[in-house]
Amino acid sequence: MTLERRATALAMVLATLAAPGCKGKCNNPGPTETCRAPDGGACFDIELVGLWTAERQGVAVPEPAHFSTLYGAVHDDRYRIFAQGGLASEGMELLAEEGDIGIVQNDVADRLRTGVAADEVCGAESIDPTGSVTTSIVTDTDHTKLSFASMVAPSPDWFVGIDGVELWDEGQNAWHDLIELDLFVYDAGTERDDVAFSPDNDEQSPLEPIAVAHDRIFPGGPAVARVRIQRIR
In the chain, the N- to C-terminal Cα span, in Å, equals 41
Cα separation, 120 vs 118, whole angstroms = 7
Residues sharing a CB contact under 8 Å with residue 43, sequence separation 6 or more, in sequence order: 21, 22, 32, 35, 36, 37, 136, 137, 138, 139, 231, 232, 233
Cα separation, 53 vs 71, whole angstroms = 23
Nearer Cβ to Ca ion (119/157): 157
Q: How far is the CB of 60 from Ca ion (least distance, A)?
A: 20
Q: How far is the CB of 205 from Ca ion (least distance, A)?
A: 9
Q: How far is the CB of 85 from Ca ion (least distance, A)?
A: 15
Nearer Cβ to Ca ion (73/96): 96
Nearer Cβ to Ca ion (166/203): 203
Cα separation, 190 vs 205, whole angstroms = 7
Q: How far is the CB of 83 from Ca ion (least distance, A)?
A: 16
Write the single-letter amino acid at 99: G
Q: Where are the alpha helices (DSSP H) in 46-101?
A: 54-57, 90-98
8 Å CB contact between 156 and 193: yes
8 Å CB contact between 119 and 73: yes
Nearer Cβ to Ca ion (81/138): 81
Q: How far is the CB of 124 from Ca ion (least distance, A)?
A: 24
Q: How far is the CB of 12 from Ca ion (least distance, A)?
A: 27
Number of neighbouring beta carbons within 10 Å of residue 15: 10
Q: How far is the CB of 131 from Ca ion (least distance, A)?
A: 25
Residues making contact with Ca ion (CB under 5 A): 156-157, 187, 190, 193, 203
Nearer Cβ to Ca ion (177/203): 203
Nearer Cβ to Ca ion (89/105): 89
Cα separation, 90 vs 103, whole angstroms = 7
Nearer Cβ to Ca ion (110/203): 203
